[in-house]
Amino acid sequence: MHVYLIGLTGGIASGKSTVARRLVEHGAVHIDADDLARRVVEPGTPALAAIVEEFGPGVLRHDRSLDRQKLGELVFGDDGARAKLNAIVHPAVRELSSKLIEKAGREDPDAVVVYDVPLLVEASVDHPFDLIVVTNAPRRTQVKRLVEERGFDPLQAAARVDAQVDNTKRLEIADVVIDTDGSMGRTMSQADALWLRIVEERARK
């Protein structure tokens, strides 16, 4: 047996964390790309040093940690600057995620790992996934969730949803699509069915 690697992606507020939580309840190991992206730029990391070299010491706070808001302002709307930032952060995240996937495999050769990657399409994440799962909700649902659950202003919420890659790109690479527009229970039951499918698939091997 080998580690069974699921790439979980979907737009903002499309129900990714709900699906990830449910799979973890079934026994999966959860790796969160957003969390890794924060870890690779902590003070003292090579990635943070490279960011300062590229964008200047103005992107640091007084405590030498990264001022995400300042950096965000520098790269927002500037494709060249964002490409430079991604060229620093994405390889560092790739290296750390590979280590964590290997660690999960050492601890349990039969591990099912859910790698939760919001930018799986945009960042061309190329891990050898066994299955790519996309959570899908209509734009109006995503905007509504950002406003109601995360306190966004409606215009801000719409801008955040629209700034992401068009969902058809994600759906093109999906092996499984989980429709999260219905009730929480309906989303959970689709995640349960996915888990059952994985267990059955592995039993046949």
Q: May I ask the CATH class of domain 1-28+111-205?
A: alpha beta
| pLDDT less than 70: residues of the chain | 1, 123-124
pLDDT at 1: 54
Report the pLDDT value the prediction gives residue 185, as an integer from 0 to 100: 92
The per-residue pLDDT for 124 is 66
Q: Where in the chain is the domain with CATH 3.40.50.300?
A: 1-28+111-205
The H or E element that residue 21 is part of is helix 16-25
pLDDT in tens, 10-37: 988 888 999 999 999 999 999 999 999 9
Q: Which of 14, 1, 4, 3 is nearest to 190 (CA)?
A: 14
Are 30 and 116 in contact by the 8 Å Cβ rule? The answer is: yes
Residue 67 is predicted with a pLDDT of: 92
Please answer whether residues 173 and 121 qualify as being in contact, where contact means their C-beta atoms are separated by less than 8 angstroms.
yes
Instruction: Look up residue 108 and give its two tokens.
Output: 């349990």
**Which pLDDT score is estimated for 73?**
85
Q: Could you give the angle at the alpha carbon of 140 between the alpha carbons of 139 and 142, nearest 5°?
A: 65
- Using alpha carbons, list the distances in angstroms from residue 14 to 26, 36, 74, 94, 185: 21, 20, 27, 23, 15
Query: Model-level pTM?
Result: 0.86
Residue with tokens 């930032």: 85
